[in-house]
Amino acid sequence: MAKIFKRNNVWYLTYYYKGKRYRKRISRSKRIAEIALSDLQVKIDRDEIGLMAIRNITFKKLTQEYLEYSKANKAESSYERDLLIINKHALSYFGERMLKQITPKMVEGYIIKRSSEVNESTVNRELNTIFNLFRKAVDWGYIHESPCHGIKKLKEKRSTVPKFLPSEEITRLLSVCPPKIYALLYLGIYTGGRQSELFNLEWSDIDFERRQIIIQNKEDWHTKSYRHRVIPINDKIIEVLLEQKKVSQSRYVFSQENGEKLNKNKIRRTFEKTMRDAGIDSTDFKILRHTYASHLVMRGVDIRTVQKLLGHHSIKMTEKYSHLAPDHLQSVANYLDFEKGGEIFGHKLGTNRISFIPGFPQVIVVQKRPQPDLNRCRRRERAVS
């Protein structure tokens, strides 16, 4: 619906577009306002109404509004990433240009510039923010079409194999680990919990009776994907937790002396020294999570289960560990022995049916029905006749 109205001797045009109300100052003349209304009706009929919503603002002004939106609607870590990308990179490139002056070629130029400075994955993370920024500009009626339309992200090289601790290094690490962080490192290795998840773990999140840890959202913290998950625990983990509870004076499993939850700054030096004392060439806490996932896969746990235990939103994140099970995959081929006429574990496959390989329900072997003996069929027909 569109209409004109008068306020303080000035005529305005108001209309709704995509559920949002827009108002535009026209003139002191009612005749001109009526012409503008008629023009708007034509644009509505031609599906060109979006052109009326365009407002002439600068890229810098848009980023200010977008960051306000990001802070109100995104997780703190996502907002901080947007803030860094926009202030450090995007603003220095697009600057004070008007939005209507920014073209796809300029966006491509940004990609070329940043590609010469950082790797493909970093550029693509920046493009996520820039693409969303211009998408909101379209939604807010600042531009009719995003200059990022049709631009593709860079192809990324396959991620490197995650480093993990073999069994002997796990033993060595725990043997030199000081009591202050022993339980923290033990749970990192044997539950795969993220550092922030362990820091925010409360005693109420541990169900000793059901033998499980529940990773769930809190009032002042949320999980990475905003979803909760359950991690099963064994007797040894329970034993470590009970020992930790004897020295804990807080609702948090891992806390500071004042009862506040632990943070990475409080344990950084201790953790790095422990890793050096164990002879491990890494000071990244993530290596404990990689260790948990890698050993699960090497022991034959399927990728879908590992994904659920790790809390990965996408299976692609978990598949980086799949290379650790070559013997497990090779064993599928070992079940097939076509030279023995399609036998599996000594059992003859039936004809014209599907047989499932024990232990691998997703793998099937199809045995075709053999071709009939034509001479034998003819003899049987003569005998009947």
**Strand 343-344 and strand 347-348: pairing?**
antiparallel
| Number of domain units in the chain | 4
**Is the predicted pLDDT of residue 379 greater than 70, yes or no?**
no
Give yes or no: residues 65 and 8 share one domain: no
Residue 157 within a domain: no
Q: What is the CATH number of the domain that holds 245?
A: 1.10.443.10
Q: Which long-range contacts (CB under 8 A, 24 or more apart) does 8-11 make?
A: none
Mean local confidence (pLDDT), 144-148: 89
What was the pLDDT predicted at 371? 53
Q: Please tell me whether residues 172 and 278 are part of one structural domain.
A: yes
* Least trusted range by pLDDT, from 2-16, 92-106, 317-331: 317-331
Q: Which long-range contacts (CB under 8 A, 24 or more apart) does 248-254 make?
A: 248/203, 251/202, 251/203, 251/204, 252/199, 252/200, 252/201, 252/202, 252/203, 253/183, 253/198, 253/201, 253/202, 253/203, 253/205, 253/206, 254/183, 254/184, 254/198, 254/199, 254/201
- Tell whether 132 is covered by a domain: yes
Same domain, 318 and 236: yes
Residue 97 lies in a domain: yes
173 with 125, same domain: the answer is no
**236 falls within a domain:** yes
**Boundary (domain end) residue, out of 102, 119, 139:** 139
Same domain, 316 and 186: yes
Judge whether 294 lies within some domain. yes
Query: Is position 306 within any domain?
Result: yes
What's the pLDDT at 374? 61
State pTM to two decimals. Answer: 0.61
Count Cα atoms within 13 angstroms, Cβ side, for 375: 0
18 band by pLDDT with thresholds 50, 70 and 90: low
Same domain, 193 and 289: yes
Distance CA 242, CA 28 (A): 79
Least confident residue range of 94-108, 266-280, 367-381:
367-381
Residues 46 and 63 in one domain: no
Tens-digit pLDDT profile for residues 217-252: 998 888 888 889 999 999 999 999 999 999 988 999
179 and 312 inside one domain = yes
Residue where a domain stops, chosen among 324, 355, 374: 324
pLDDT in tens, 155-172: 887 666 789 999 999 999
Pairwise CA distance, residues 199 & 283, whole Å: 18
Do residues 211 and 82 both lie within one domain? no
Residue 330, in any domain of the structure: no
Examine residue 246 and state whether it is found in any structural domain, yes or no.
Answer: yes
Q: Within its chain, how far is the Cα of 76 from the centroid?
A: 16
The predicted structure's pLDDT at residue 356: 36
Q: Which of 89, 124, 139 lies at the terminal end of a domain, its last residue?
A: 139
pLDDT recorded at residue 280: 95
What is the CATH number for 75? 1.10.150
Same domain flag for 304 and 273: yes
**Beta carbons within 8 Å of 334's beta carbon, 6+ residues apart:** none
Q: Do residues 66 and 130 share a domain?
A: yes
Model confidence at 291, pLDDT cuts 50, 70, 90, reads very high
Angle at 26 between CA 24 and CA 100, to 5 degrees: 55
Would you give the distance in Å from CA 346 to the centre of its chain?
45
Residue 12's pLDDT is what?
A: 86
| Lowest-confidence region among 1-15, 55-69, 214-228, 317-331 | 317-331
Parent domain of 7: 2-53
pLDDT band for 329, please (50, 70, 90 cuts): low
Residue 236 and residue 318 in one domain = yes
Better-predicted residue by pLDDT, 227 or 355: 227
Task: Say if residue 354's pLDDT is above 70.
Answer: no
pLDDT in tens, 182-223: 999 999 999 999 999 999 999 999 999 999 999 999 988 888
